[in-house]
């Protein structure tokens, strides 16, 4: 019979002895060791690779929920069981927000083994929902009007329609247009999320997202620019970290500025699509962005996307020579289709499936999938 590996986290030696006595001879559980209630527990988790972490909160230690949240965010697939003196509503709410799978009171300790096994089974199901490692793709426009939001929306919708679990984050915090291009009424946005929740789990985030008819999950930008300052880089880092285990792809529509929030999203991404039109302002902006990404050692993530909009004095060779990277993808000129779909709030990959723009999106989507498959196979 397969055993579930359990790592206990408890400071009290008597508690550890009692847990060894209760769980040591169970056929379905292997108690692999103990750790103290401190940040070193993350190192112990890496070493023991448990399937269940049993947190013992005997003294109402406020730090136990912080440790639980760090485990939940950092180790998808590990079930967290909290053994506590009381399972009051306050404790249950805090535990739920921190990613605890099951709260067990001292009165239920005789059922501890069964509850640990149940938690492990449920968490394993959660871990395999996505089927493969998640991939975060940021779409960054070298200059205003580059078309990066249109690309982000249509690429995300195309991926969602293929049956993958896909999310789209609109991090254009001042003037985001994702909701308009998808024709959705954003009742809740990222600002409501960060103002109402001091910590997030996946259920918290999903409660503030919108669902598009394609199956795409969308977290919209604030309804007014005045709220943008309330979203911090820590919020961005946490949102991406929490969402990662639950989606095959997370696409991020970024503004042209390189604020702390934008840089955090770029650093948290696996791939960056740098979108530019073939003109001098876009070339200059792309060169500046690449310089910053090189300083941050993020340049290897970048693929250059040229969004054609007519003749230009600059050639492809000019772009590649100045930027010192090849053109990876090209979006053909089709202003009629793009404008019509923008005005109707209909992604062209749905309403114009045979258009040249849709064919371009298919090529980029296949490229993203191939990169994901190569990474998974390695």
Task: Give the CATH number of domain 4-127; options: 1.20.140.10, 3.30.360.10, 3.40.50.2300, 3.40.50.300.
Answer: 3.40.50.2300
| Residue 171, pLDDT score | 96
pLDDT number for residue 133: 65
What global pTM score does this model have? 0.66
**Nearest CA-CA partner of 42 in 59, 66, 25:** 66
- Dist CA 284 CA 75 (whole Å): 41
Using only the alpha carbons of the chain, give its radius of gyration.
24
DSSP codes joined into one string, 98-125: TT-SEEEEGGGGGGHHHHHHHHHHHHHH
Residue 34: count other Cβ atoms within 10 Å of its Cβ: 20
In whole numbers, what is the pLDDT of the chain averaged over residues?
85
Separation of first and last alpha carbons in the chain:
31
> What is the predicted pLDDT for the residue at 1?
44
pLDDT band at 75 (very low <50, low <70, confident <90, very high): confident
What is the dotted CATH code of the domain comprising 135-377? 3.40.50.300
Pairing of β 135-141 and β 271-276: parallel
Instruction: Report residue 130's pLDDT band, with 50, 70 and 90 as the boundaries.
Output: very low
pLDDT number for residue 124? 65
pLDDT tens profile 17-50? 888 888 877 878 888 888 888 767 777 787 777 8
Q: Lowest mean pLDDT: which of 128-142, 162-176, 294-308? A: 128-142
Say how far apart CA 207 and CA 202 lie, in whole Å: 9
Instruction: Quote the percentage of the chain above a pLDDT of 70.
Output: 94
Residue 2 pLDDT: 53
Most confident range (mean pLDDT) of 111-125, 131-145, 220-234 is 220-234
The whole-angstrom separation of Cα 216 and Cα 157 is 6
Q: Residue 245 — pLDDT band, cuts 50, 70, 90? A: confident
Is 314 or 1 the better-scoring residue by pLDDT?
A: 314
Query: What stretch(es) of the chain map to CATH 3.40.50.2300?
Result: 4-127
**Alpha-helical segments (H) within the chain:** 13-23, 41-48, 63-74, 89-97, 112-127, 148-161, 178-182, 190-196, 202-206, 233-243, 260-267, 280-295, 316-323, 335-344, 348-351, 356-377
Region at 44 (left for phi over 0; alpha for psi -120 to 50; beta for the rest) = alpha
Q: Beta strand pairing status for 102-105 and 79-84?
A: parallel
Please choose, from the candidates 103, 105, 108, the residue with its C-alpha nearest in 3D space to the C-alpha of residue 80.
103
pLDDT for 115 equals 86
CATH 3.40.50.300 residue window(s) in the chain:
135-377
3-state secondary structure of 223: coil
Q: Closest Cα partner for 75 from 11, 127, 7, 133?
A: 127
Q: How far is CA 62 from the centre of its chain?
A: 27
């Amino acid at each position: 019979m397969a055993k579930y590996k359990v790592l206990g986290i408890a400071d009290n030696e008597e508690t550890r002895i009692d847990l060894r006595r209760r769980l040591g001879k169970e056929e379905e559980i292997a108690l692999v060791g103990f750790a103290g209630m401190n940040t070193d527990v993350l190192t112990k988790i890496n070493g023991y690779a448990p399937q269940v972490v049993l947190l013992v909160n005997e003294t109402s230690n406020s730090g136990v929920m912080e440790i639980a949240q760090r485990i939940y965010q950092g180790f998808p697939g590990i079930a967290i069981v909290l053994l506590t003196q009381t399972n009051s509503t306050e404790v249950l709410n805090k535990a739920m927000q921190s990613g605890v799978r099951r709260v067990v009171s001292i009165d239920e300790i005789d059922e501890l083994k069964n509850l640990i096994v149940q938690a492990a089974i449920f968490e394993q199901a959660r871990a395999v929902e996505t089927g493969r490692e998640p991939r975060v793709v940021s779409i960054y426009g070298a200059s205003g009007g580059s078309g990066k939001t249109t690309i982000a929306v249509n690429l995300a919708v195309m991926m969602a329609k293929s049956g993958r679990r896909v999310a789209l984050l609109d991090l254009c915090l001042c003037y985001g247009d994702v909701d308009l291009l998808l024709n959705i009424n954003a009742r809740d946005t990222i600002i409501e999320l960060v103002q109402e929740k001091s910590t997030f789990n996946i259920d918290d985030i999903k409660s503030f997202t919108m669902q598009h008819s394609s199956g795409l999950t969308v977290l919209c930008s604030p309804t007014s620019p005045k709220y943008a300052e309330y979203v911090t880089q820590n919020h961005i880092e946490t949102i991406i970290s929490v969402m990662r285990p639950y989606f095959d792809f997370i696409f991020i529509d970024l503004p042209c500025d390189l604020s702390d929030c934008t840089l955090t999203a770029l650093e948290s991404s696996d791939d960056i699509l740098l979108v530019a039109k073939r003109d001098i302002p876009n070339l200059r902006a792309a060169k500046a962005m690449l310089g910053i990404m090189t300083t941050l050692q993020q340049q290897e993530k970048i693929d250059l996307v040229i969004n054609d909009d007519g003749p230009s004095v600059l050639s492809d060779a000019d772009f590649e020579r100045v930027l010192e990277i090849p053109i990876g993808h090209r979006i053909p000129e089709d202003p009629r289709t793009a404008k019509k779909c923008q005005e109707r709030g209909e992604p062209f990959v749905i309403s114009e499936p045979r258009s040249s723009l849709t064919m371009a999106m298919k090529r980029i989507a296949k490229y993203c999938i191939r990169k994901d498959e190569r990474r998974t196979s390695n």
